[in-house]
Amino acid sequence: MLTALTQAVIFTGKEEIKGKALLLDNGVVKGWSEEGNIPSDFHIIQQNGRYIAPGLLDLQIYGGGGQLFSDDPSPSALMNIADALVKTGITGFLPTLATNEMSVFEKAIDTVRDHPHPAVPGLHLEGPFINPVKRGAHILSCIKKPSTDEVKALLDRAQGAIKMMTIAPEMCSLEVIELLLANGVILSAGHSNATFTEAAEGFKRGIQTATHLFNAMSPFHHRDTGLPGAVYQSAAFASIIPDGIHVDYEALSVSKKVMGERLFLITDAVEPSTGAYPHVFKGDRYTLPDGTLSGSAVRLLQGVENCVKHAGINLAEALRMASTYPARVIGHPERGLITPGQPAYLTIFDGQFQPHGTYIKGEFFKA
């Protein structure tokens, strides 16, 4: 079908376009046209002043629609979670599991491997190879130091389904890091008590990013700037949770000024659960029953809004933090841009940051 999306402000990931229609040819971006010069064979869909942006990508989210993936890592649960998240404006996400029994990881790996979904580029394992000192809400008894044999077995089972792993660099040998990288796993430093030197060495060895900057990591101190300092001084990316609870908006603003295009947004969002991670909803966040902060309640589009309203980041750049930059992290930069010749990955939302629909690989999904 030939489709023209009109009366919208279009953010391409590189520029802002007004007064033009976005043309799609069977779900592939064809280009732009003056709104008064749209070819007659195009079906016109008026957007009434809405915004069109590259599809939002959440590289760390634990569930959706009331389901936590680790509670039920089944194909039906993954489909239900994906359906719910797409309605929030997300076009791609990494279903994430915190430190857990290896059998839970294996079930999740099997599901993602054997039941591909266009919104799921792969799985994010946050643990178990982390530092117990900075475990946060993670299950202490399941944390371990990795052996090469154990990692190899996990990779052999995954067959590429593991897209990202959060590890503590000080807990992993060079051999383990090299094995994971050689198998295409994006490594993120997190739940780590690394000194600046240990963290900097991890980035030199090939760790590409860091998990939820400032949370569950060695602090930024003037005598040892720890993992945050190493992130600032490196070429690595870092994710950050834009809910104003996990990280103060001033810390978000400062980090943006320091890191520029290397800082991207995640939600770290969870769902209510009575399972191994008994997340309790507290109105604007989730905690464990003992009060330990265990996850956010923010949605990615809401995080974009928070960046604009509370951290002094303009809308175009906030959108890139939720689309263009995470797409670079996972090695699919085309998903973070609106580019002629590429399948449409689009998020459509209004001036109140409410989602109105998405295109995922050219297919439209109503919010």
The residues annotated with a catalytic role in the active site are 268
Residues 6 or more apart whose CB falls under 8 angstroms from that of 364 comprise: 357, 358
- Name the one residue in this structure whose structure tokens are 């980041």: 313
Chain centroid, CA 39 distance in Å: 37
Residue 239, CA atoms < 13 Å, CB-side half-sphere: 34
Rounded to the nearest 10 degrees, the angle between the axes of helix 148-158 and helix 174-182 is 10
Task: Give the CA distances from residue 307 to residues 96, 261, 269, 270, 290, in Å, rounded to whole numbers and listed in that order.
Answer: 23, 14, 17, 20, 30
Q: Do strands 2-11 and 16-17 pair parallel, antiparallel, or not at all (unpaired)?
A: antiparallel
Distance of alpha carbon 211 from alpha carbon 188, whole angstroms: 6
Q: Which residues contact 313 (CB under 8 A, 6 or more apart)?
A: 253, 256, 307, 321
- Give the number of other Cβ atoms within 10 Å of residue 106's Cβ: 15
Q: Is 70 helix (H, G, I), strand (E, B) or coil?
A: coil
Token pair, residue 93, equals: 């996400």
- Measured in degrees and rounded to the nearest 5, phi and psi for residue 51 equal -105, 140
Give CA–CA dist 187/130, Å, rounded. Answer: 12
Q: How far apart are CA 230 and CA 88, in angstroms?
A: 34
Helix (H) or strand (E) holding 265: strand 263-265
